[in-house]
Amino acid sequence: MNWLTAPGHLLVCDLDGTLLRSDTSLSDAARDGLNRLVAAGVALTVASARSTAAMRPMLPGVDLGLPVIEHNGAYISDLRTGQHLVTNALDPAIAGRAVELLGDTIVTAWDGARDRVHFGPDLNPGAGWFIGEKRRYRDPRLTETADLRAVADREQVVMLCSYVPDEDAPAVAARVQEAVGEGARVWTALNSYSAGWSEVVVQSPLATKGAAILELRQRLDLHGEITVCGDHVNDLPMFAVADRRIAPANAQPEVRATASVVTGTNDDDGVVTYLTDQLAISRRATAE
């Protein structure tokens, strides 16, 4: 039996830079490959910094039946309905303090009835790209809000994301982390879609892809190996809990360094090609 279809095995793939091409599209070949994996009995889902509202139009025709991990582990959710099965929110005081320090930030939250993405009226080019992309696919969460600090007092904040010049990002992240202490996880990474602008992200310490994968595996009663596929530093927490780690050739250096397998690039559908090749090898071996 192949490791992909072994009892209790869980396969979790990142989206941007891994399954999606550099233009954020999912190729027809990748879609068909993912559906072949699901049809073969592979327990497959995705873990992304994106929301279910963003995932749905980016995964057209993909037959994903398992819950997905969104916002880097802030939520485990039903992809079709967007219902949150698990929520890892920031403490309101911590969220408020981080907003004060970051100033111009994007606040992702739950208002008790619906998901929200709050943003201010003045956007720098990095944040402008982020909001502009969501306007293009008519993201229903977008909410222009003058007082972002007040959001932390009235809603469950699951993520803060500021876009700052690349050279400033490490210092900004360090200053926020020092202020919030162990009450939040602060990290920074280059944004491949907006040159010159890095993300500074603030989330609950519980909101990681790795922690979410372990929670999801328990909920699904899967007790076999874990295989993960990713390219970005926010994928390292799920690499840490995996038995098998797959990265495309375009992955960031620290991700490639910890990978068990490096495939072709995302623009060549390297990860899906590798996975479907492994499935085909298994089927040939069984037939022989």
Domains of the chain (ranges plus CATH)?
3-87+207-287 (3.40.50.1000), 92-203 (3.30.1240.10)
What's the token pair of residue 89?
A: 């929110």
Q: Is the pLDDT score of 288 beyond 50?
A: no
Q: What pLDDT, in 10s, does the model give residues 167-210?
A: 999 999 999 999 999 999 999 988 888 889 999 999 999 999 99
- Judged on CB neighbours under 10 Å (0-12, 13-18, 19+), 27 is middle
Q: Is 231 left (phi over 0), alpha (psi -120 to 50) or beta?
A: alpha
Name the pLDDT band for 2 (thresholds 50, 70, 90). confident
* pLDDT > 90 fraction of the chain, expressed in percent and rounded: 91
Pairwise CA distance, residues 108 & 81, whole Å: 18
pLDDT, average across residues 111-118: 95
Q: Check residue 3 and report its DSSP letter.
A: G
pTM of the model: 0.90
Q: What pLDDT, in 10s, does the model give residues 88-99?
A: 999 999 999 999
| pLDDT value for 257 | 98
| pLDDT value for 194 | 86
Q: What pLDDT, in 10s, does the model give residues 146-157?
A: 999 999 999 999
Reference 172, options 191, 193, 152, 186; nearest CA is: 186
Q: Is the pLDDT score of 39 beyond 60?
A: yes
Indicate the helix (H) or strand (E) that contains 164. Answer: strand 156-165
Q: What pLDDT, in 10s, does the model give residues 212-266?
A: 999 999 999 999 999 999 999 999 999 999 999 999 999 999 999 999 999 999 9
